[in-house]
């Protein structure tokens, strides 16, 4: 089982096909690709043991390669609500900043996030948050309110980071709190605000690293990056749509129409329905595929 690293490749379109061929030859995958003017930006995953080989070619084509641990993850950005009661909040800037580092983000405005005593997570919201790889909750400037609302997050099975205004708030030990971003009525451009955003990226990266390490303790028969590549090869409608997750993929196609086809995808000689859990997402009837550890396959 390969231990994959996630990187951002920044260069020009010069020898682009050669770069992509090497990524695929190493067993990696191009997760996302952008061409902006004369610049080529790619989010890629390659085995860590082969990074040195890839860096030689990157150096030849004068490209920059930097690690980005948020690539290959789904992250929910959760303000208490999107209503006027909680404006202004920095949710949009946080959402966009995480995307720059490769995360696939979802903005989730809670239907009952208003008020210290009345705020709740509905079963639908809880089920959806348990589908993603990590969640960022954006709170306000009142310490007591943050403490109370942190209690709502019990039962979530994903890593959680809370962002709020006060520098220090006592929250449960399984939650990371980052202060310095509460209700802010301007774009996050000041140096101290960008520093907090970088701390958030580092915290999420560490949580995802830990989650990947736990995943590799009892690994599946093949890695999620290979799963993504084969699904997009064998199901035409899934091409460029499949979202990579820590333990599988999300396919934004209708479950009722495509679940059988997904189950019949062959990866490394195995049908997916025999080595993975294929379930209906609570979000728009998407398809969630979670790879099962080898120990569960008998």
Examine domains 4-67 and 74-214 and report if their fold is the same: no
**Phi, psi (rounded to 5 degrees) for 139:** -105, -175
CB 141 within 8 A of CB 165: yes
H runs (alpha helix) in the chain = 16-25, 51-60, 91-100, 123-129, 143-150, 191-217, 224-234, 255-263, 272-275
Assess whether pLDDT exceeds 90 at residue 113.
Answer: no
Q: Which of 184-193, 233-242, 289-298 has the lowest mean pLDDT?
A: 184-193
Proportion of the chain above pLDDT 70, given as a percent: 94
Beta bridge partners of 8: 43, 66
Q: Would you call 209 exposed, middle or buried from its count of C-beta atoms within 10 A (0-12, 13-18, 19+)?
A: exposed
- Please state which of the ranges 46-55, 97-106, 142-151 shows the lowest mean pLDDT: 142-151
Residue range 74-214, CATH number = 3.40.50.2300
Token look-up 């990579």 returns 244
pTM of the model: 0.90
Which CATH code of 3.40.50.1010, 3.30.70.240, 3.65.10.10, 1.10.287.610 fits the domain covering 4-67? 3.30.70.240
Cβ atoms < 10 Å from Cβ of 83: 13
From start to end of 79-126, where are the E strands? 104-107
CA dihedral (180, 171, 118, 121) in degrees, to 10, reads 100
| Residue 110 C-alpha from the chain's centroid | 20
**What are the DSSP calls for 112-168, one per residue?**
T--STTT----HHHHHHHTTSSEEEEE--S-HHHHHHHHGGGTT--S-EEEEESSS-
Grade residue 72 by pLDDT with cuts at 50, 70 and 90: very high
Sequence spans of domains, the chain: 4-67, 74-214, 224-296
pLDDT for 90 equals: 85
Per-residue model confidence as pLDDT tens digits over 218-274: 999 999 999 999 999 999 999 889 999 999 999 999 999 999 999 999 999 999 999
Instruction: Let me know: does 135 contact 236? Beta carbons within 8 Å.
Output: no
């Amino acid at each position: 089982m390969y231990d994959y690293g996630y990187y951002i490749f920044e260069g020009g379109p010069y020898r682009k096909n050669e770069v992509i061929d090497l990524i695929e030859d190493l067993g990696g995958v191009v997760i996302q690709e952008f061409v902006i003017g004369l610049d080529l930006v790619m989010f890629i995953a390659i085995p860590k043991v082969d990074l040195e080989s890839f860096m030689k070619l990157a150096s030849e084509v004068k490209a920059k390669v930097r690690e980005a641990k948020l690539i290959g993850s789904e992250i929910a950005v959760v303000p208490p609500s999107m209503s006027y009661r909680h404006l202004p909040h920095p949710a949009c800037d946080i959402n966009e900043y995480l995307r720059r580092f490769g995360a696939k983000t979802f903005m989730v405005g809670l239907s009952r996030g208003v008020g210290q005593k009345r705020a709740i997570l509905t079963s639908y919201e809880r089920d959806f948050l348990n589908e993603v790889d990590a969640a960022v909750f954006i709170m306000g400037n009142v310490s007591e309110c943050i403490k109370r609302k942190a209690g709502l997050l019990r039962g979530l099975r994903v890593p959680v980071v809370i962002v709020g205004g006060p520098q220090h708030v006592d929250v449960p030990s399984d939650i990371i709190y980052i202060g310095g971003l509460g209700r802010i009525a301007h774009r996050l451009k000041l140096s101290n605000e960008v520093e907090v955003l970088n701390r958030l990226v580092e915290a999420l990266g560490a949580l995802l690293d830990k989650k990947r390490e736990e995943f590799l303790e009892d690994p599946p028969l093949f890695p999620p990056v290979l799963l993504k590549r084969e699904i997009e090869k064998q199901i035409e409608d899934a091409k460029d749509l499949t979202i990579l997750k820590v333990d599988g993929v999300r396919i934004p196609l209708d479950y009722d129409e495509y679940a059988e086809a997904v189950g019949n995808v062959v990866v490394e000689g195995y049908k997916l329905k025999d080595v993975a859990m294929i379930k209906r997402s609570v979000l728009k009837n998407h398809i969630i595929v979670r790879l099962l550890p080898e120990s569960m396959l008998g």
